[in-house]
Structure 1
Amino acid sequence: MLKLEWLRMPQQTAYGCLYCQTAASFKGDTARMPKTCPTLTHEEIAKDIQGYREEPLKTLMQKADRTPFTPDGVLRNRVEELIFFAQEMGYHKIGIAFCVTLMPEAQTLAKLLREEGLEAIPVCCRVGAVDYSEIDLPKAHPERFAAICNPVAQAKLLNLAQCDLVVQVGLCLGHDIILQQTCQAPVTTLVVKDRVLDHNPVRALRG
């Protein structure tokens, strides 16, 4: 668990955000910003908004800004946000790169997407049926077949399907990185795998 005293300590290689208690950037109060605030120390980066005035970031930021709330001001949950954002962006083919342990959730997501007129293209992590031994990974039971997670194949199959957006559902840490690096379409995460905390890692950060 993080301690407040540690958060207050300046770090030689860190920006000031982690131990700042002013919320000055949020309020636009430059006078109250700590000297280590990157808004001050790296103004040429922090205040460079040119990218948001040009496509594709201009549209992405506009749609993202509208995503959290309904027109009536009601908060959307993350699945509702995903569907709304995809529709607003004009995405049609939605790839679902899912962990085999979360197949029921992936099936439900695919159903919800299809009900909203979107095409769902799920690909399971164990696609290819490649044994651990084929890439020199250890196995608890060497005599038995055990399929590896295959994020490269997941990504390539979703590329082949020409997905507009790829949604990660519970891929292992590291495998999610490989998927993101290999996918041609943008990737967003719906479910983060946490085997201990029922896929809710934020619980580990709250005392």
Structure 2
Amino acid sequence: MEKINISSISYCKIILHAFKYPHCQIKGVLLGKNNSEGCIEVLDVIPALHSALVVPPIEILFIHLDVYCRERHLEIVGLYYANNVFMNNSFDEQWMKIASDKLQNPIILQLENSKLSLNAVSPCLRAYCQESSQKWKEINYFVENSDETVSLASLAVQNKLHKNLADFENHLDEPLILIFLIVI
């Protein structure tokens, strides 16, 4: 894998998910396409969880996303997460295992909490690809219109758009909330 491109909407939704649950570890799913040049395009994200990882809800989410992706000619290309402790940049081993078990050649985006701010001047993610079954390698990524996207994410948080975001866990708590599958 040579390159990862992250759409503006994907980046903004990850940031909004983190701001909605600043005290929680968040997890989500990356949707996109692998193009013929070896580039992974992350076109959308689905916020998944904001509390402890429990496998049955993840299984249900993947079933929903299989149908959702098929209808939109997308695929699940990876997962994202942020730790719940400000300076903790460690791997989420459970989430990495799910990525390895469920996906072929997955990527992982990790939100760097220490770089998350309303005054951010650059994207605050780390990207990883799987080198072997037990090893992940940090790789470069590109955010679409990077400067504008970072500013847009800050503006979205300042306008409290994160309060309107629902993740899959919210949907399980209140099944009428289908917003986790809607682009903001």
TM band (smaller chain): under 0.3
Choose between structure 1 and 2: higher helix proportion.
1
Q: TM-score scaled to structure 2, two decimals?
A: 0.28
Q: TM-score scaled to structure 1, two decimals?
A: 0.26
Of the two, which has the highest radius of gyration? 1
Choose between structure 1 and 2: higher strand proportion.
2
More contact order relative to length (CA 8 Å, sep ≥ 6): 2
